[in-house]
Amino acid sequence: MNATFEPSLQPFLKLAQAHAHETQPATLYRALDTVLADTIGHTLFTILRYDDTTHESARIYSNMPAAYPTSTSKPLSGGDWVETVLTRGEAFIGKTPDDLRAVFADHELIASLGCESVLNVPVRWKGRTLASLNLLHTRAWYRDDHVPLAQSLAQFALPALLDCD
């Protein structure tokens, strides 16, 4: 019997299949990039891993490595964004350049890439945020109704993040 799945299940199937590939985490991160681009949309996509003992973040994936290279670590500053995404584990939506300017020191670089809105989605395990998936696009692209799908897709990164521990 050949099962036919609704198109809405295809992103989940693609990510589940990516888990089985031996070249991890690269295959999974590229699959997340593709699935998120196809379902929600983005211009820039990065994954930041967080270390809650050193209070640093490290970029572990970027679809624009020239502008946003991987393996770059930086200290976390406090503020509402950190409280929202890292502490409470909630998604953050910034809809305008002013929203981005208020929370990101690199807002000028972000703007130079044509990005004026952001959706940051935490990847959580046992009550703590291990990473965030960061989608950036044109002004006012992201909406509250994107959040449940983005959160569900983000959790597919979990095995790769736990494998790094």
CATH of the domain at 91: 3.30.450.40
**Start-to-end Cα distance in the chain:** 40
What confidence score (pLDDT) does residue 164 get?
62
Query: From CA 17, how far away is CA 13, in angstroms rounded?
Result: 6
Q: Is residue 54 part of a domain?
A: yes
List Cα–Cα distances, 33 to 53, 122, 161, in angstroms: 28, 15, 16
pLDDT value at 73 more than 70: yes
User: Over the stretch 91-132, which tens digit does the pLDDT of each residue have?
Assistant: 999 999 999 999 998 999 999 999 999 999 999 999 999 999
Q: Which of 135, 95, 102, 91 shows the shortest CA–CA distance to 116? A: 95
Q: Is residue 9 part of a domain?
A: no
User: Over the stretch 10-39, which tens digit does the pLDDT of each residue have?
Assistant: 888 999 999 999 999 999 999 999 999 999
Q: Is residue 84 part of a domain?
A: yes
Prediction pTM value: 0.92
Q: Is residue 118 part of a domain?
A: yes
SS3 of residue 72 by DSSP: coil
Higher pLDDT, 148 or 8: 148
Domain extent, residue 74, equals 30-163
